[in-house]
Amino acid sequence: MNIFHFINVFFSDNAHWHGYAGIPHRLEEHLGYTFEALAIAAVIALPIGLITGHTGRGGNALALVATAGRALPSYGLLVLMFFWLGIGLVPVMIPLVALAVPPMLVTSYEAIRTVDPAPVDAARGMGMGPVAVLFQVEVPASLPLILSGFRSAAIQVVSTAAIAATVSLGRYIVDGLYQRNYATVVGGATLIALLALAMVGLIWLVERVVVSPGVRRSN
Amino acid sequence: MSSGGNGFFDLPSDLQHSYAGLIGVHLEESLIPVAIGLAVSLPLAQACVRFRWLYPPVLWITTILYAIPSIAFFVFLIDYTGDSATTVIIPLTVYSLVILLPSIVDGVRSVPPETLAAAEAMGFNSFQRYFQVELPMAVPAIFAGLRVATVSSISLVSVGTIIGNQGGLGNLLGDALAYHRSNLAVTSVVSIAVLGVVMDLLLIGLRTLLTPWMPRGRKAARRAGLAAAVEPDGPARAESAARLEGAAK
């Protein structure tokens, strides 16, 4: 009776690979929720993070928002949204977006704020306006850090989307829990952990593609 | 407090705790993991600083453990530890460890070599050097990690309600669903958030007490910021800030 036994039982069961409750469909749902939550969070967090980072103002307010966001329990928020909004896409999205915003917000702020001041001054000296400085100097230079904020958010959203148990891979965990079927629980958890690691790999790939070779750090 | 009411603080009797009792259970289940995590990560971080080859594999293992969703972790442990507080405490300890370890390693590594050389010249042995120089200098970094670990631990305990009465204030969520009383969910979410913010403020206060050499107040902070701009360790600081954000679940 060990984890590998349960994993083997779960993945070798043919029934887990087909239909509405099959792994491919659940995986697709889980990914859909994850990407949607990350996209909404990015639309909210990135502009605020970039602008506050560029001006260097509002850091304290930002830290406050991040702490408050972190203190909100995702599962509690989900239950509350279920009461207020019923079952659906929005009540699941709100806790996930609330989860993803703080890391994106804080890292993009820190990333822009800590760009080496020398090239920024040089760009200003060349007559670049604030928008050009932000998008042609500061953002490219801090892209690795901004992406690391995305990575943190992605790991957390993938693993927390499990609590949205009416859909997603979390369904395996919750169903398995009620049926005392540990193979299903462990199988679902394994899939989610693998998915989280796959997201880390995906963001690493994105980094290889979009970050300028001059900026890419050697480590 | 009358039973059977519908107010925000009329708790159903199956909770077996008063509101204050729930807060006590919640703090116990969230803070013990952070304390254990700190006790484990201090020597582990020291080992990672001394033997550099150890750090990357340790980081990889902790990242993988961190990727396991809390509810799955809880449920899996029921088989071994039963429906007890231990079942919640073990995963939260692992998550705390994942957050604390890099912040302590970064903190100890960021002690300037001149400072270490000065300690050596004063005849400190490695034991004294660690407890009197490296550890105090790493306090700001350790506390940055401690704050994130504590707040996320407090907010994660609530998931324990799914495995049966082990979620502290989160147990209100289970009852909110069972009795269809949304006000219990409001009480739960607001209480947990307030608890997290209050603990965060307490940690900020404690750090201020522990680091009397750090600049205080707005003006001093701005001066310190200016000094940091002149002598930038910016990317390293931002990198550790970014890693810390790999925190709340």
From its phi and psi, is residue B111 left (phi > 0), alpha (psi between -120 and 50) or beta? beta
Which helix or strand (DSSP H or E) is residue B57 part of?
A: helix B55-66
Q: What confidence category does residue A96 fall into, taking pLDDT thresholds of 50, 70 and 90?
A: very high
The values of phi and psi at residue A109, to 5°, are -60, -55
Q: Which residues in chain B come in under a pLDDT of 70?
A: 1-4, 216-249
Looking at A57-61, A102-106, B181-185, which range is the least confident one? A57-61
- pLDDT at residue A1 in the model: 56
Residue A166's pLDDT is 61
Q: Domain range spanning residue B185?
A: 18-216
Residue among B154, B162, B248 minimizing CB distance to A102: B248
Q: Give me the pLDDT at residue A125, please.
A: 92
pLDDT at site A61:
87
Residue B229 lies in a domain: no
Contact (Cβ atoms closer than 8 angstroms) between residue B75 and residue A177: yes
**Cα–Cα distance for residue pair B108/A147, rounded to 1 Å:** 26
Residue A208 above 60 pLDDT? yes
B102 lies in a domain? yes
What are B104-140's pLDDT values in tens digits? 998 888 888 898 899 989 999 888 888 888 888 889 8
pLDDT digit string (tens) for A5-28?
777 777 777 777 776 677 888 888
Query: Taking Cα atoms as reference points, which of A119, A63, A198 lies closest to residue B241?
Result: A63
Tens of pLDDT, residue by residue over A173-188, are: 777 777 777 788 888 8
Subunit contact A70:B248, Cβ cutoff 8 A = yes
| Tokens 């979390």 -> residue | A170
- The tally of domains found in chain B comes to 1
Size of interface A-B (CB pairs under 8 A): 185
Is residue B221 included in any domain, yes or no? no
Per-residue CA distances from B150 to A3, A62, B66, B93, B195 (Å): 29, 19, 15, 11, 10
B2 assigned to some structural domain: no
Beta-carbon separation of A79 and B177 below 8 A: yes
Q: State which residue of chain A sits closest to B181, comparing Cα positions.
A: A83
Q: Is B27 on the interface with A (CB under 8 A)?
A: no
Using the Cβ of A212 and the Cβ atoms of chain B, whether some distance falls under 8 Å is answered with: no
Considering just the CA atoms, what is the radius of gyration of chain B in Å? 21
State chain A's mean pLDDT as an integer: 84
Query: Cβ-count burial of A201 within 10 angstroms (0-12 exposed, 13-18 middle, 19+ buried)?
Result: exposed
**Does residue B132 sit within a domain?**
yes
Planar angle of CA A76, A81, A85, nearest 5 degrees: 165
pLDDT grade for A167, boundaries at 50, 70 and 90: low
The answer, for B79 touching chain A at a CB cutoff of 8 Å, is yes
> Which of the 8 DSSP states describes residue B192?
H
Burial zone of A212 (CB within 10 Å; 0-12 exposed, 13-18 middle, 19+ buried): exposed
Q: What is the pLDDT of residues B199-234, one digit of tens each?
A: 999 999 999 998 887 776 655 555 555 444 433 344
Q: Which domains does chain A have, with CATH numbers?
A: 3-13+33-213 (1.10.3720.10)
Q: Which residue has the higher pLDDT, A217 or B149?
A: B149
Q: How far apart are CA A12 and CA A133, in angstroms?
A: 55
- Closest alpha carbon within chain A to B200: A67
Where would I find the H helices in chain A? 3-12, 23-55, 59-71, 74-85, 89-113, 117-125, 130-133, 139-160, 170-178, 182-210
* Nearest chain A CA: its distance from B67 CA (Å): 5
How far is B239 from chain A, CA to nearest CA, in Å? 7
Rg, Å, chain A Cα set? 20
CATH number for B116: 1.10.3720.10
Give the per-residue pLDDT at B239: 54
Q: Kindly report the nearest CA distance between residue A195 and chain B, in angstroms.
A: 9
